[in-house]
Structures are given as structure tokens and as C-alpha cells.
Structure 1
Amino acid sequence: MLVDKQNYPQKQFQYSIICQIAMKSRQNWFCQQCIALDQSNSIILISEESLIRVFQFNKISLKQIQLLKNHRANIKTLRFFNKKERKFFSGSEDSSIIIWPQQLNSQVKFIQKLKGHIEGITCMIINGDNNLIISGGGDSCIKFWTILSPNDTELDRNIKHLQWSCQQTISDINNRILSLSINNLGNQVISCCSQNQILVIEYSTFSSIWMVKQKIKVDIWGRFISFLDNNFFVFFPYDGKYLYQYRTNSINNYFKISSILISCGEQFSELPPIYLSDQKLLIIWGFFSLNFFRITQNKKQSCKRKETFEFQKEHKIEFKQNCLKAIISQNGQYLISWNQNQSWIQICQFQEI
């Protein structure tokens, strides 16, 4: 259910510029670029073709501190590890995943390069315990990477020297993987690809493997998919017209419970929606715009139907320039954007009006 208020809620907000830095860019490469921000809001990663620029942000200024050069083709995804793990990982069209240490010096060597996909990496996620990386590729495969560890003590004390290995590959998919999401329990993964299908994958504690539990047919191929809780996810098709809600039924299979008209435009961007769990905000990238939706539980429940969620459109930020890339910090305080035409990185801070 979508509640669209023409006059936004009582507490309106905006993002005000606090810092920006000029940077020369090659023509056309910017649209292939990725941005990532760590949980402490102090390190920003920006890819440039096969390179990764590492910036240090101290709340008032931005400074480049590293340039990483170990990929051989365009970087398609950048992710930080969770919690206090000072590492990040990158996936590239060269079919490799590289795990990097988060060190504030110019002489940085990567920890490990993971090879297994036969075509480029398209998306990656990591579980909450930082011991499982899941990657999707243009080879129509989903791979599960785990840490090879002699014992739990070494895992805790010497994690930087531990090696990752592909535990399992799921390949019964007929097209390139576009989006992945894992629930908070870490026992279910959902994916969508460039065909009309959603895949639900579940971990079996009995056999200790990941198994395809459900294949859901959809009318339009999906651009993004994301869990909002352990038994509820949203699916965002390529055309950007509707957002679809899915929830488990009595036999724990997922079914569509609602279609929400959001009209965000076709999804040319590779920036996924951002879910700020503390603020209950879902941020969706439109055609040169950011759309903020407040998520609340629908209190009007019936005994025949499980609860749904209402999506209230709270805010919209419009951009005039082409090829804009942006990311919002996990606490919603910072909006980092990069515009190709004006060749600057800009950081804005959340402010209530």
C-alpha cells in the first residue's frame, strides 16, 4: 500500500552541502562506476574503470589516500565488511573478487583474489557474521564463499590471514544475476536475474548446503530485490513503475501480497535501493532522482491475511545532471554523490527543516 502525500510530513528534511572535491574524470567511464561508504562514515571508495580510489572523510574534508590497481576490467560492485571488520571487497568484469584490508596508508596489498566465475561479477553481498560472501555473475551462477579456518580461535584472532574458498555453486539459472539479498537470520538468499524469475535459496542445516527452495514467476524481469525482514521482501522490476511485496504463507513459500505504484522510471542505474532499517526508510533511485519512502506496518490486519506494510512517500531529491552516482550512509546522515559533467565529489549532511 502506498500513501502519497503531496505535502510531505511535519518533519521535513534536506541534505545540505558540507564538503566537495574536484576530480578529473574520463568521458563515459563514470556511468560504470561504484561508490561505497564504511559504517563509521570515514572511508569512501569510488571505482574508476578497473581502479579503486580510496578517500578519507573527517566530516568536514575529503582526501584521497590510496589508488588500488589490481583489477583488469571495470569494477561492478564494492562492499565493506560489516561491524568492526576493517576490510572491503570488490567484484569486476574480469571475473575476480578481491578482498582488501582497510589501511590508511599508500602501500596496500590485497588479502586474497577469488576466482571461480567464468564471466564478470555483477553483484555481491556478505552475511552479518562476515563469514559468507555470495556473488552473482554474468555466467548465470551464484557462488557461496566461506572462510577455511582450522578452528574458531584462529578465526577470531587472526582473520586477516585466513583464506576464502568457494563452498558451493548454484547454476540452475538461465540468465545473468542482477541482484542478491540475504535475510537477517542468514539462512535465506533471494535473487533476481535478467529473466522473469525470482529465486529463493535456503540453507539446509541437515545437509549443510544451500538449496533452491522456490522459483517465482514474474511479469517483468527484476532490477533489484531486497529483504526488509526475515520473511518479507520487496521486488523492483526494470520498468520502475511498481514495487511488489512478498511474504511467506502457511507452508513458508513466498507469495505476492501487494503491488505498489511508485513511478520511479526505468532503472538504467546500477545503484540498488537502500533500506535504512533504523529509520524505516526505503530509498529508490529514479531517473535523476532519489525517492524516500517511509515503511510502516499496516495495523488493519485480518485473520485470513498476514500483515502488510504501507509505503509513504516522504521526500524526493531531483538532480539535473546526467550520469550521477550517489550513496547514503547506513545511518542516513550523509549523501555522497559524484557528477560526471561537473567532475566533483560532493558530500551532503542530513538536516531537519
Structure 2
Amino acid sequence: MTIDRRSFMAASVCVGVAGPALAQTAVPAVPGSPLPPGLPQPAETIDLWPGGAPGMPAKPLTETVNERSTDRLVTDRAVYGINAPRLAVFRPDRPNGAGVLITPGGGYRWVVVDKEGYEMGRWLAARGFTAFVLFYRLPGEGWAAGPNVALADAQRAMRLIRARAGDFAVDPERVSAMGFSAGGHLCADLATRFDASVYAPVDAADQLSAKPHSAAPIYPVISMTAPDAHSGSRELLIGKTASSALEAAHSPHLNVPANAPPVFLLHAEDDEVVPVNNALLLRAALKAEGVRVETHLFEHGGHGFGLRRAIGKPVEAWPELWRAWARTTGLAL
């Protein structure tokens, strides 16, 4: 993938200098709830939309964070009502020049903060990657962009990371994407519809490509058609009565371009929430277009294992499998 140098420099001047000087929205938090000691928390955020997110719902949203864990030392937060989509940044002590945009899951009902966001951000940063956890807008909350609203945030996030690459010691051509469950759908959507026009450009950053260097949809929602569709994600993304055309438009395996980036796929065959065939459908479609794809299927693992629920099982090897594969793509040198 080649990024036009003139466009990159123009965007860096516009966004990279002005961006850090502006007040940014804090990370989602539970008021009065202490965080576990010793765990790195994101120290900085990047708001995606300088003038506010476009297409606000008629009914104002209130960002709400639910703590679902009863263990004080293991947080499991989920956030909804996101009206200021933003990136939470995890900087490594010794950057390896690669960035990873993380899109946590949550069934498009909410965005999971810890299990599929911050925990992966910490893991990546400890290994030299600069991680950007995306708190994206939810399609069922009345945004004008409808089912394209999360993709608009993911495209904008990828462009902003590139525009500010110098601020993070990141090579703008080595910015990958990784997503989980419904966030895996968003990751796959970005990898297949990076060129789709889903929002009006707002500044010079939007001159840059939204195509990720590579993509890793982890136990992803892919199909919007029964019996493979995850019914909750489908309903919130496109509605209960969506036409077959709308289903197809938002099923990444039906929208794979020949120039899609390399893809790493991971799924457990005993996934009781999102059928493993979702990953297989995307794999077949990528293969049909001649796109590089590595696929790992595990007999056991269930759904939503992330890092914490993979411990002690064969599937706990998956992050290092991704890292080894990432080296073959040139992401991790």
C-alpha cells in the first residue's frame, strides 16, 4: 500500500500540530469506581471529529459505562451512548513503528472496554506496538449514518492515526486493524470497504487512505443472513426486517475487493454465539479474490475469550500466532 507523500505531509500539518493542543474527551469511566492497581491505563485520547460527530441523533445520548464484574481487581466495563467517538492510546516504551487499531466487540449494543480493548492494548504495547482502542458510535442509537456509522468512525480513526503518525513514532504504512466479535465485523468491514464513501471529509486527514495494512477479525460476526448471522448484531446494525440487499451490503464476505489487505482469522468451533461459519465464509471470499489469509480454528474456546478467558486452553496461543503472522506481512519487523 502506498500513501501519497504530499497528502500525508499536508494532513500531518493540519492535524498533527493542531490536534494535541485541543482538549480531548476523557476515556469512558464508571464514576467513583476505583481502577485495579498496577494496570496501565490509557493516558491520552484522540477525538475523531473536531466539530463533533456528524449526524447526531434527534434524542441526545448520555454516555453510560456499566461495570459488569464483581471482582475489584478484574474490571469488565461496557459503554454505550457514545456521542464523542475517540481513540484511547497505549504507547509502548520502545515503539517498533507499527500501530494497531483495536475495535472491541459488544454486539453493536455497547463497546467492551477491558476484555477486548484495554487488555489487548496493554499486550500490544508491551511488545512494541502502539495500540489505539476505538470507542465507536453504535448503529442502533439513531445516528444519521445508520448502519455505516461505526465504519465511518473506523475509517476516520485510521486516517487520523496516519495523519498523526509522527506523534506516535508510527510508520503510516504500518497501521493494522484488529477487532473482536461485532468489533470483528467492523474490522472486516474496514478491510473490505475502506474506500466506501460513508462520511463527508472534514479536514486534510481525510485525504489519506483508510485501508489497513492488514486485518485480524477475531471470532468475527460476518454474515448478516440467517442461519449464520448473530441475531443481536444484525438487528442493531440493519434492523429486524432488513432486505436481502441490505444484508449483502453489510456482510463483509460479499464485499471483498481484489486489493483487500492480508487477513488473519481466528475462531473457536464451539462458539455458541457467533457460528464458526462466519470466519469460513470470509476466508472463502478472500481466497476467491486471491487475498492473503491465514486461518486458525480451535476445537474449544467458546465466544469472547479475548486474552483472559483463553488462559489454560490451547487457544491461548492465538496472540503469538497473530504476532508471528504479522511479521510475514511486514507489520512487525
Does the alignment reach a TM-score above 0.5?
no
Structure with the larger strand share: 1
TM-score, length-scaled by structure 2: 0.29
